[in-house]
Amino acid sequence: VICHPKYQESKRIAIFLSMPDEIQTEDIIKDIFKQGKECFIPRYKPQSNHMDMLKLSSAEDISSLTLTSWNILQPSDDDSAREEALDGGGLDLIFMPGLGFDKKGNRLGRGKGYYDTYLERCMKHPSGKPYTIALAFKEQICELVPVAENDVQVDEILYEDC
């Protein structure tokens, strides 16, 4: 991941904080800060499909986050001091999680549409849609992933042996 040309050229990067069954992102987050890039992480709003990408100040900042009912670390709802990526310069790159992917770039998420809705908002931002890379295990690559009309394809899927 850290040798990828899109990662190397990106300055503002959004990345998920991994759950135990996902590709672990901690080392990528550490590298984002080591290289002087800006790092944004998701904050999901329950009972909706709204998500914001909020700025982390350091890799250690993760320890200040709260655990949601889904066992995901994220900034608390009353944390209004963090920059939302689209209120600033937008994003260059988004690393995306998922349950399954096909080689056409279709992604099966967890069913709430958070990333699809966020990418729609990105497309309205002056900086435009960021490049999207899904991080997957090779076992998550499927022949065909069912899609709805509002599903946004990922630009690239990185997985072992790809």
- Binding site feature residues for ATP: 107-115
Backbone angles phi, psi at 63, to 5 degrees: -70, -15
Residues 13 and 120: their CA atoms lie apart, in Å, by 17
Residues 88 and 92: their CA atoms lie apart, in Å, by 12
- Indicate the annotated binding residues: 17, 22, 107-115
At residue 22, the 3 state secondary structure works out as coil
- Indicate the annotated binding residues for substrate: 17, 22
Beta bridge partner(s), residue 73: 67
At residue 100, the 3 state secondary structure works out as strand
What Cα–Cα distance (Å) separates residue 67 from each residue in 17, 75, 80, 108, 143?
A: 11, 9, 17, 24, 34
Half-sphere exposure of 55 (CA within 13 A, CB side): 18
